[in-house]
Structure 1
Amino acid sequence: MFQAATEPLISLALLAVDLDSVARRLRLTIEESWDEHGTVRAAFFTLEGTDFVVTHHERDPSGTCVWVRKSGPVDPAERTAVLLTALGVGSDAVSYSTWGMGTDLSRVPAAWGRRRGRPVESHQRFWENFRKRPGMYVGRVTYDGVTAYLNGYDHAGGGVLLNGLRQWLADTYQVGANLVWSAQVVQVVFPEGRPAEPWSQDQHRQAVDGLFALLDGFFEHLASRHGATPESG
């Protein structure tokens, strides 16, 4: 089903509304498939020029995951507001968002009431959950899959998660400051040189474990400077 999306998909939010309720409200047809981790259900539709995908995997938290096809700049709050308006629910229905706490929801209609009983997830909480269970986010855990997801999350959040990582790696481990951070990590984890492709499962595991250890060190560095690990807003 996801291969039917002609452009990359960007994760927007997890709604505290089950997929069947979303489908009934918007009169959608749910398609069902599976991967190596279980059953996935999804529906594809367009609202106000935005191509949405709503999904639920049997290993996901309860609720509905919301995605859009990337076509130019993405304003997560604006696109999510379009969907919430169509569903007739307020911002309190957003139990998690890729842009984290402190999002400007000023364009959300005042009639929604802005209840805050269920705040969106902070970047710190995202990192804690991602580190413990990366397979819930990326499926098969590979170094490329993990770094691509983190890059996408960082981009969607305006660069707040990984801002300063490249320079910190260069200063701390004397790796090339001209490299992207994922290449810098490979130099640190594999000091004798990047393994030849394709990587073995053990090499992917070593790279991912090394990445997580380095990110923990980076966030501890930020905490010592700013008192937050990583930024929570």
Structure 2
Amino acid sequence: MTEMIEVPDAEGDWEPATEFPASRRNPARQASMFQSATWPLSSLALLAVDLEAVARRLKLTLESSWDGRGNVRAAFFVLDGTDFVVTHHEGDAPGTHVWTRKGGPVDPVARAGSLLAALGVGPEAVSYSIWGVGTDLRHVPAAWGRGRGKPTRSHQDLWANFRRSPELFVGRVSFGAVVAFLNGYDIASDKALLDGFREWLAAKLGYGENLVYWVLAKKLIFPDGRPEEPWSPEAEQHAVAGLIDLIDEYFESLASNPEVRPETV
């Protein structure tokens, strides 16, 4: 059995993760199971730490529920702009399973690093991970075959809402308006949304490393050449849908293979 790692207690001035004062010190912000039940999850890692210790450190409130394979205790929370869930099923070996919300800009290694830092433990606490690093890689944790569900406001939440209803964010939907919104959000979030996207597009095209991402995207969206300006409503709609599809494809490539993120300059 993997040796369990000790997690330090919460910092003295951290408030409970369920409270939202104007000035927050606790890095975790918790959502309830009820709030989070509709979101699909992706497995991230199995940590050799006790779930109670994780909850104590981040001042989370553990909730009890069940799925197709038994009783489960869990906490849903946002940390460093990412939706996390930590769980432990009754009868499982000691340890904490970590999940993230599917979709959106998730780099598994970076997200796991944020969580480990908040917990005050090092990479030795990772028993198993989807990127193939850990102290016990003999088999996939059994809990990862169990039912899933998920939670609160994050970069992933923003992207899910934006891709579904861009008109709620930009008013009249056009390619230029969408690019302007994404650029503004990316700057405000310290490149949390589109970091590496330009380089990925250039690699997909095979050229254009010196071009901005929206120019590269147009070349992929209109392979036979851009329509003359001003664009028709149909061309605008096609361009917006194409850009959203490209960003989704980039996020999927990150989630399935974090090493695909190109080096940025």
* Category of TM-score, reference length = shorter chain: 0.3 to 0.5
Using the size of structure 2 for normalisation, the TM-score is: 0.41
Which one scores higher on RCO, CA 8 angstroms, separation ≥ 6?
Answer: 2
